[in-house]
Chain A
Amino acid sequence: MATPRKVCVIGAGLTLFRRRMLETGKELSFEAVRMALDSAGIERKDVDTVVSGSAPDAFDGVHMKGEYLLDGSGAYRRPYSRVFVGGATGVYTPEAAWWHVASGMSEVCIAVAEEKMSPLQPHPAYAFWSIFDHDYERQLGTTLLWIFALEMRRYMAVHGIKEEEIAQVAVKNKKNAMDHPCAQLPANITVEDVMKSEPMVWPVKRLDVSPPSDGAAAVILASEAFAKKLTKEPVYVAGCGWNIDSTYWTDRDLYYPQYLENAGKMAYKMAGISNPRKEIDVAEVYDPFDYKELHHMEGLQLAKKGEAPKLTTRGITQRNGELPINPSGGLLGVGNPIAAAGMMKVCEIYFQLTGQAGKRQVKREVHTGLAQAWGDLMQYSSVFIMRRR
């Protein structure tokens, strides 16, 4: 295989995440891209390709969202495509942008992710009903919460994990979000609050779950030569990985995300990482539910199987800990406009690596950071690793 050329991240931008925003999807995309261009110190004329990422059309209520969003994405009369891998889209979008630049086809590529979940009535959760098999699952009234509750229960049962241990993640992330200017649900809560919150689909309770949101986020990728014109110390894309498991989800043992292990290994290999636990300084792992942070730490080899709750209890995943996880506040605290939420994580790692995270800056020195997202029928993972020299 030919060696891909080096690619850098040169700017990032994101909008507020809220239950309902006045901006349309195009306007949200514009705001995020505009901010990313400004943070890079470049203009649209410097950009030669654009990748847009957005989850199901059913949320926005706009069929063919790719074309709908293009003007606001900065793609007018540019090579442009929309990518879609469910919830994993937000981290997959900069990976698609990476191919554009790594291949030599493009010098500067915008990666933007948008989601506007508020139009769908009575609740965005409704959109998920039609993702299930129409021949033998939909008849049961299957919802997305069911399958996550089933996964959470299986994870708890295999390792003997208590709900209280999982609730610590919600407490940590909502607290971290208090320092995020875009956050929708920052809060100072306790494990007891999570335990007492109303059961939705047990073991999933209200405070175990991230909220539906409107929002957009973007990063700009560029060739090393272009990036070096802007800064002496660019942030490099060190590794990309993605992987999918079977859609026959009831065949899988849900306690462990094997597809994520595969995606992680792909990214680690590219980044030359042999011991992720030692070599990753900060990680933004996908946390639409609190148990997912733990599940994903294990899939990413940042914790041994069943060990992530213990690391959390010991405070290792706090911002001042040895392995800070979700210093942004994650989806649980900042909000979950699906694709934009994954991209928010990529932005956060960029901010952490460039020392722009403000109050959220982690205590330890940061050289290598990882962002990860997860989606489709609990089967897809995308992993994006960035590094500064």
Chain B
Amino acid sequence: MEKITSETKIGVVKDHIPLKYNYTAGVAGDRFLQLLKQGKLQASQCTQCHKLYLPPKIFCKDCFSQLNEWKDVAEDSAYVYSFTSVKKEEGPRELIALVKFDGVEGGLLGRLKSSREEPRMGMKVRPVFKQKSERTGELSDIEYFEKVNY
């Protein structure tokens, strides 16, 4: 066996694989994103074991029943489950959080609106949507989550 130390000594083939995809979000995903576009946040509900799922699913991963019920996610139920800060090459430092909702399975990734106050886990937040005309039916239609004092 020879260890490769220099590319010039051995034969090398260079090539690239360009890939293009056009994805659709699925039965639950499409409805979820269409609702986001309208500024609404809904979870799908399992009527068997009473779990709420966000992002919504058409099936309960546990009891495996079909989910047809959807419910508004209570606005005052959101809290920061965990967070980190990201420094991109350009632009200011950003706070990224996994936001969970009381009584809901799962959660959403989003930006935290920066403030002088350092965020903390468990901090109550609420989603702030982009202007209606700017929404595209993507998770980024939630511009950021901001701290609230209930």
Instruction: Please report A residues at the B interface, Cβ cutoff 8 Å.
Output: 20, 22-24, 26-27, 30, 33-34, 37, 43-45, 58, 61, 71-72, 74, 76, 118-122, 129-130, 134-135, 138
Contacts and interface: CB of A to CB of B under 8 A. Distances in A.
Contacts of B29: 24
Contacts of B25: 24
B23 A27 contact: no
A134 B11 CA distance: 12
Contacts of B17: 129-130
Given A22-B26, A23-B27, A27-B28, A34 B21 contact: no
Contacts, number: 65
A121 B27 contact: no
A359 to B, nearest CB: 27
Contacts of B26: 22-24, 26-27
B64 A61 contact: no
Interface string B51-95: 000000111011110100000000000000000000000000000
A220 B116 CA distance: 57
Contacts of B22: 118-119, 121
Contacts of A30: 58-59, 64
A122 B58 contact: no
A177 to B, nearest CB: 25
Interface residues of B, number: 24
A121 B18 CA distance: 10
A71 B59 CA distance: 9
A72 B57 CA distance: 9
Contacts of A37: 64
Contact of A61 (B11, B15, B21, B63): B21
4 closest Cβ contacts across the A-B interface?
Answer: A24-B26, A61-B21, A44-B64, A121-B20
A71 B61 contact: yes
Nearest to A135: B13
